[in-house]
Chains A and B, each alone.
Chain A
Amino acid sequence: MTHVIQGNTGDWELVVGIEVHAQIISKSKLFSGSATNFGADPNTQVSLIDVAFPGMLPVINEHCIEQAIRTGLALKAKINLTSVFARKNYFYADLPQGYQISQYEYPIVGNGNVVIDMHDGSTRVIGIERLHLEQDAGKSLHDQHHSKSFIDLNRSGIALMEIVSKPDIRSSEEAINYVTKLCLILQYIGVCNGNMSEGSIRCDVNVSVRKHNEAYRTRAEIKNINSIRFMSQAIDYEARRQIDAYERGLQIRQETRLFDPKNGETRSMRSKENANDYRYFPDPDLLPLTLTQKYVDAIKEKLPELPDERKKRFIDNYKLSSYDACLLVAEQSVADFFESVAKGRDPKMVCNWMMGDFASAMKRMTRTIDNPPVSADNLGELIDLIYKNTISGHIAKEVFLTMIETGKTPTEIVIEKELKQVTDSDVIEVSVDSILESNTNKVIEYFNGKDKLFGFFVGQVMKATNGKINPVILNEILKKRLESLKVLFNEDNDLL
C-alpha cells in the first residue's frame, strides 16, 4: 500500500525510522549487581559502580547479554559473535561516570526484520538495522525544589536495548503497528514488559518527507516519546511541518526535536551542529564481547513461540481466520486464555465467545485478561453446555451474565434456574400443537402465504417455554407440523 500526504506542490511520501529503547527485565543492572525494581525510593538501588566511585569497574551481566541475543533471534537478526562496548562521553549530573557505556561500531545484533500487520489484513516487513546494549542514565528531578535539581540514580546503569529500524516506515499507522508489534515480540520472549508509562519502552523517531522516488531528505529526530499516541501525533505533525517548510521554499535542518503533548507540536531542542561530540571509543575496562555459535544456537533452541508463528498455528490448527488469529495473538495472555479454553472444543465457537460477550464484559468491567470476568474453565464449561445442546446460545448469554454476577459455574446456574434445554420431541410437539391450536387464524394466514409468521410461532413457543426449547429441533418440528397441517388444509378447506 502506498501512503501519500497531499501538499500544495503534489504528493509527498513520509519516511520514518524508529529507535526503540527497551529496558531489559533483569534482577540486576547491566554492569553492576544493583537491583532494578521500578518505583523504589530514590537512590536505594545504587552500587559504588553506579555512582562511579574511583576505581570501580564494570562487569557484564551475562543475563542481559542472553536477553539481547534472544531479542536478536526473535527479530530474525544476525547475532554478531564479536561486539564491543564503547564509551559515549558527556557531562550530565545524572550520568555519574561522565560516559554511558554503549555499543557503537560493533553492536551485538545486526540486520533483522519485523513483520507488521495492517488493518486491512495485509502485512509489511520493516527492516531492523541493529540492536545494541547500553546503560540507562539516572533521572534528574527538576520539580522538587525551587532552585535545586535532585538526582535519582536508581535507573543509572539499568540495561537497555536500543533497537534501530531502517527508514522503512511510511505512515504513522505503520509506526504504531511497528512499535506495537515490537513490544509484543519483546513481551512474548519475556525480555521487556513493554510498559511505556513506566518508561520501559521509549522511542526516538526520525522523520523526513520526500517526493516519490527521491533520495532521502534531511531528517529530524524527535526524542523521548513515551506513548504510542504521542508518537503518531508527533510524526503527523512533523511531516506536515516539513512539507509546509519545503513548499514555502525553506530547508529542514538536521536537528533534535521534542514533542509537546500539550499542544501537539514538535519543537527544536538542539541542532546537530551544536550537539555534543560524544568522543566514542572502545571501553578499555571491558574486553570485546565474544560469543560462540554454539552458545547462540543453544539460546535459539529455547526461544518460545513468537507472535507470527503462533498466528500461523492458530490459522492452521484451529482453522481461524487471519483476522481472528491476529486479534488473539496481539496479547500473549489473551492467546494463552484462548488456547486453554479451545483445548478439545470448537475453536471458532471459543473465538466468537471471546471476541463477543467475553470481550464486552471485560471492557465494561475494566478488567484485563489476567483478571478475567469468568475463568477459562468456566467459559469452557459454558461452551460445552451449548455444544451438547444442554442450553441454547440465547440462554447461554443469560447464564454468562449470571456467572459474572454470582461467580457460580454455568452448570450450577443451569440446574438452579432450571434452564436446561428441552430436546425431547414429544414435549416440544405438545408445545407446538398448543400454540398452533390457539392461533388458528395466524396458521391460516401462514398457509395463505404469510411466511413471516413462522418466526411468530417460534417466538410464541419460546415465550411459553421460557426459551428453553432447542431452537433447531423446534424449527424442525414446527416445520413438519405446519406441513402436515397444510396437507390437511388443502384436502379439506372446511376442516378449519
Chain B
Amino acid sequence: MANSLNVMIVGVGGQGTLLASRLLGSAMIQSGYDVKVSEVHGMSQRGGSVVTYVKAGENVCSPTIEKGEADIILSFEQLEAARWLPYLKKGGKIIVNTQSIDPMPVVIGAAKYPEDVLCAIGNTGVEIISMDALKLALEAGSAKATNVVLLGAMAKYTGIDYEIFENAVKETVPAKFLDMNLQALKLGYEA
C-alpha cells in the first residue's frame, strides 16, 4: 500500500456500507497503518444517500474526505457514484455496482433518474470499474453479501494483501455466514 489511502464507500442506507467500511478499516490496521473511519448512524438514514470515509496513513487527522481527496470511491449504486464523483482525486478510481435504486423524488415523478450514468462518469476521464455485484452475491448465496462482493472488488486496488481482507472477514462475520461471505469476497476479487 502507498503512504496513505483515502476510500469513500457510498450507497443507499440499508445496503450494508457500514460493514464494508469496518472490514476495510480492519484490513488497514492489520497492514500497520493509523486509521480513521467516519460513519453515518441512525435508522433514519434508511433509504437515503449514505457515505462512509475510510482513511489510512502514518498519522490521520481529519476522519472525513473532501472534494478531490479520495483515492478510491466504492459505490453500491449508480446514481450515488455520480453524486459523490467530485470527491475523487485526480487519477483516482471509482468502482460502481450497476444496481440502480430510484430515489423517492424519482418514484413520485418529481425528478428523473438520469440515463447512462456510467457513461457520463467515464466521460469525465476518471478510471471506472463497473460490475453487477448483486448477481455475484446471489451466486455466493444471498443478496445480503453484495457489500462483501464489492469489498472484494475493491481489495485488489488497495495494495493490501488479499489474505488480510480474508482475515478481516473471518474476524467480523458470524460463523454461520462466514463461508458465504468468503465466497462473496472471492467472487468480487476475481471479477
A pairs with B: no
Residues of A participating in the B interface, judged by any CB pair closer than 8 Å:
none
